[in-house]
Amino acid sequence: MGSFGNADRATSTNGGSAPVVDKEVDFAQYFCTYAFLYHQKEMLSDRVRMDAYFNAVFKNKHHFQGRTVLDVGTGSGILAIWSAKAGARKVYAVEATKMAEHARALVKSNGLQNVVEVIEGSMEDVTLPEKVDVIISEWMGYFLLRESMFDSVICARDRWLKPTGVMYPSHARMWLAPIRSGLVDDKWNDYGGAMDDWHRFLDDTKTSYGVDMSVLTNHFDEEQQRYYLQTSLWKNLHPHQVIGAAAIVKEIDCLTATVADVLNVRANLTSIINSPNTRLCGFGGWFDVHFRGRKEDPAQQEIELTTAPNTENSTHWGQQVFLLHPPIHVSEGDDLDISFAMDRAKENHRLMEVELGCKITMSSGTPMPPFSKKFHIE
Ligand SMILES: C[S@@+](CC[C@H](N)C(=O)[O-])C[C@H]1O[C@@H](n2cnc3c(N)ncnc32)[C@H](O)[C@@H]1O
């Protein structure tokens, strides 16, 4: 995954189904960061991520030995190199950016050029000379689906995976849990500070330059609210900040999922608060993926990659935090009835819009007023 730029939003849509993407715009917005080694290094330094993929490949060599492999979005080439080292006969390593040149150099310097073929191009446009036994890819964005790279994996699978083929990873899940966090106060104060500063600016502009700009106050306020209060945050939460049972929002079988399955995520979830006298400050979202092979050709050792809050094994994905202003006093045994909706942003199909609704019933049986809030994942 990566924190790609989103400055110039010009993606068009075809009436609510999968967006039609202007490739040049997508390249400028999304792929640009992946062309830099510093960014690949960030992912290559994530030990949880690296160990999971390394173990998935080397503890399941039977899936690779003598087989053909496709690495979707090879980046530096690391997964293709491991696949070759695990005994693959041929590895096609597809990468959209110029990073393909570095991958090619890395493959050669590791003496694997006879096995790994690096192909520079979009997965959607590339033609392979044969179908493959394994598709390996690290496609996961923040909260799993940001970046929408799974679409490219689905496209690759439908075109190039043999009917007996295996997906690495094979399964994915999104999780959501109620959390407490001091960030709720920080962001509220930052927003207040920004508005105080705006009012000082208005006075100053009027006094010094004779122009009254107060007509813009509502627009500035909306901008600041969006920035400070309605945009989800990247955070590595401490497990103690999770104050209730985590619930599964979405389960994906990578062998069968379609783009339609991941386009609009809808879920009704329940959770129970398990901390006494605390504040419900929002929700934390994360994901896990599993490497299980396929039913008829299972993994010898199943591997899990989780991005759940963890003090020792945090990942560069962290968690996505959706804050509630103001926070709500809750206590052990309070029931949460949560509705979750996530759609792609209209202006950029790789970003997301989330709507979270919640009804809380206190352990006494008394209901609290329900609420609903919209967020942007940027
Ligand atoms: C999250 S990185 C993973 C890189 C590498 N596989 C690894 O695990 O370190 C995803 C890579 O996929 C590439 N990518 C994303 N979508 C692609 C597509 N449709 N076709 C080709 N490459 C793509 C990106 O440029 C990026 O280098």
Work out how many domains the chain is built from and give that number: 2
Q: What is the ipTM of this complex?
A: 0.99
Is 109 in the same domain as 241? no
When the pLDDT of each residue in the chain is averaged and rounded to a whole number, the result is: 93
Q: Which residues of 203-237 are buried (b: 16+ CB within 10 A; e: fewer)?
A: eeeeeeeeeeeeeeeeebeeebeeebbbebbebbb
Whole-number Å distance between alpha carbons of 287 and 297? 25
User: What mean pLDDT comes out for the span 185-202?
Assistant: 98
User: What mean pLDDT comes out for the span 349-356?
Assistant: 95
Whole-number Å distance between alpha carbons of 239 and 181? 11
Is 363 in the same domain as 251? yes
In-domain check, residue 155: no
**Torsion sign across C-alpha atoms 254, 259, 263, 268:** negative
Q: For position 272, which CATH number holds?
A: 2.70.160.11
326 lies in which domain range? Answer: 174-181+233-377
At CA 38, angle to CA 37 and CA 41, rounded to 5?
85
Q: What strands lie across the sheet with 161-168, from one edge to the other?
A: 116-120, 90-95, 68-72, 132-137, 161-168
Reported as a pLDDT band with limits 50, 70 and 90, residue 23 is confident
In-domain check, residue 3: no
Reported as a pLDDT band with limits 50, 70 and 90, residue 35 is confident
Q: From the alpha carbon of 31, which atom of ligand 1 is closest?
A: 25
Distance from residue 116's CA to the centre of ligand 1 (Å): 16
pLDDT tens digits, 218-232: 999 999 999 999 999
pTM over the 0.80 mark = yes
Q: For position 34, which CATH number holds?
A: 3.40.50.150
Reported as a pLDDT band with limits 50, 70 and 90, residue 16 is very low
pLDDT value of position 175: 98
Q: From the alpha carbon of 97, which atom of ligand 1 is closest?
A: 25
In-domain check, residue 346: yes
Is 242 in the same domain as 113? no
CB atoms within 10 A of CB 199: 12
In-domain check, residue 324: yes
In-domain check, residue 295: yes
Domain boundary among 86, 115, 138: 138
Is 241 in the same domain as 368? yes
- Of all protein residues, the one whose alpha carbon is nearest to atom 27 of ligand 1 is 75
Domain boundary among 87, 122, 138: 138
In-domain check, residue 49: yes
pLDDT value of position 19: 53
Q: Check if 138 has its Cβ closer than 6 Å to any atom of ligand 1.
A: yes
